[in-house]
């Protein structure tokens, strides 16, 4: 298994660095400091809170949020991690420094919107032909998990080794959707009003239980991902695809342990939504926004251990913050008669709004007006 960014998995670190320098050069922007990044995150938190509060609650929770799983899927597929930024963004898309931020930003946002419309239409009218709410959430978490697994654990392998950016993007997306359809067969809808429906796969795992399991698996996919926390340490020391297989097995095992053990001490929604979802959010913010601050100077695994400990501590702080700022949104949700508690509303705020918006801005609007983010430092 090759080290992430060593040039053997598609997009090289040099290509990303060059694109970031080119994108930032015309703005003459210095690398943002820690305080600027805190303000940056706070701005997107405020925008996200306002959107959750002011968008009509029924539309938001029964249509937009189930569809947002496809936005998360598209963000990753069209990012440097899978397609190299194809078709519109750096480093491998149809972009040059003179194009600035608007071409990749607006064009890719339009593409993500199209994916967010086409995906739910396909699953409601073609296959598996289920109602978007709430069944779309159970399908969506599978899609989200497979997307991160393909990009973070498998580096888009084997397409990213030799194929063009277009094939990596289209082919990678097809692989993700195909595996999602296969894993959907593991689900059963027992204990829900949809049990026995034509689209009920009647698999071995109850849908709501499986949802929580996958959230915890995502925690470990991100922990051992190529760009977050441990940067695939120690699996990058193994040859392909043994490293990817071992990484996958460890993530599934640790995810299952965290989910099954935590259920003995806390409610399901606190386990997967408050705790698991907050860890996922902190992994994303600490890596993608703050660049492992202040641990980038260390090599793996010291960097990863420090990162992970910090992200756990931040997750508990984030849980406390959510209990301060989210009750007005929860009140609107409960007044609408929707089955979401504070824990679930908080994780949707964290991952489907703050993380989603910052990733779009980072990847496609090149973090303007701040200098664009660069690639992570090599593990060692």
**What is the share, in percent, of the chain residues with pLDDT greater than 70?**
92
Count of alpha carbons within 13 Å of 29, Cβ hemisphere only?
A: 19
**What is the share, in percent, of the chain residues with pLDDT greater than 90?**
88
3-state helix, strand, coil in the chain (%, to 5): 65, 0, 35
Residue-by-residue pLDDT tens, the chain, 380 positions: 333 444 334 444 444 445 554 555 544 468 899 999 999 999 999 999 999 999 999 999 999 999 999 999 999 999 999 999 999 999 999 999 888 999 999 999 999 999 999 999 999 999 999 999 999 999 999 999 999 999 999 999 999 888 899 999 999 999 999 999 999 999 999 999 999 999 999 999 999 999 999 999 999 999 999 999 999 999 999 999 999 999 999 999 999 999 999 999 999 999 999 999 999 999 999 999 999 999 999 999 999 999 999 999 999 999 999 999 999 999 999 999 999 999 999 999 999 999 999 999 999 999 999 999 888 899 98
- Whether the Cβ atoms of residue 80 and residue 155 lie closer than 8 Å to each other: no
Two tokens at 143? 């899609």
Catalogue the E-assigned strands of 136-217: 187-188, 205-206
Give the per-residue pLDDT at 161: 81
Give the per-residue pLDDT at 14: 44
Domain ranges of the chain: 13-363
- Whether the Cβ atoms of residue 243 and residue 155 lie closer than 8 Å to each other: no
Angle at 297 between CA 294 and CA 303, to 5 degrees: 75
Select from 184, 180, 158 the least CA-distant residue to 171. Answer: 158
**Dihedral, 108, 361, 215, 8 alpha carbons, nearest 10:** 70
Count of alpha carbons within 13 Å of 149, Cβ hemisphere only?
A: 25
pTM of the model: 0.94
- d(CA 123, CA 110) in angstroms, rounded, equals 20
């Amino acid at each position: 298994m090759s080290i992430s960014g060593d040039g053997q998995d598609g997009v090289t670190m040099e290509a990303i660095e060059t694109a970031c320098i080119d994108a930032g050069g015309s703005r003459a922007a210095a690398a943002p400091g820690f305080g600027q990044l805190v303000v940056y995150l706070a701005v997107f938190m405020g925008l996200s809170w306002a959107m959750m509060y002011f968008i009509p609650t029924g539309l938001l929770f029964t249509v937009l949020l189930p569809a947002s799983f496809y936005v998360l899927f598209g963000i990753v597929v069209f990012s440097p991690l899978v397609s190299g930024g194809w078709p519109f963004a750096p480093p491998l898309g149809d972009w040059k420094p003179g194009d600035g931020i608007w071409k990749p930003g607006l064009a890719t946002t339009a593409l993500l919107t199209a994916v967010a419309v086409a995906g739910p239409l396909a699953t409601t009218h073609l296959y598996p032909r289920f109602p978007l709410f709430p069944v779309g959430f159970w399908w969506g978490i599978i899609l989200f998990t497979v997307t991160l697994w393909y990009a973070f654990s498998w580096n888009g392998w084997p397409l990213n080794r030799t194929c063009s950016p277009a094939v990596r993007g289209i082919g990678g997306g097809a692989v993700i959707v195909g595996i999602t359809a296969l894993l959907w067969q593991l689900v059963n809808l027992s204990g829900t009003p949809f049990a026995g429906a034509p689209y009920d796969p009647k698999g071995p795992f109850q849908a709501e239980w499986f949802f929580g399991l996958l959230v915890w698996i995502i925690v470990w996919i991100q922990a051992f991902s190529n760009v977050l926390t441990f940067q695939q340490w120690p699996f990058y020391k193994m040859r392909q695809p043994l490293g990817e297989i071992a990484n996958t097995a460890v993530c599934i095992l640790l995810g299952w342990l965290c989910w099954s053990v935590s259920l003995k001490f806390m409610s399901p929604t606190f386990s997967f939504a408050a705790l698991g979802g907050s860890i996922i959010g902190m992994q994303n913010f600490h890596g993608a926004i703050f660049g492992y601050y202040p641990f980038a100077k260390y090599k793996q695994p010291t960097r990863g251990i420090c990162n992970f400990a910090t992200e756990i501590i931040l997750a508990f702080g984030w849980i406390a913050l959510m209990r301060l700022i989210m009750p007005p949104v929860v009140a609107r949700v409960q007044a609408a008669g929707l089955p979401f508690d504070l824990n679930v509303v908080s994780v949707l705020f964290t991952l489907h709004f703050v993380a989603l918006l910052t990733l779009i801005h980072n990847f496609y609007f090149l973090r303007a007006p701040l200098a664009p983010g660069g690639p992570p430092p090599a593990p060692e």
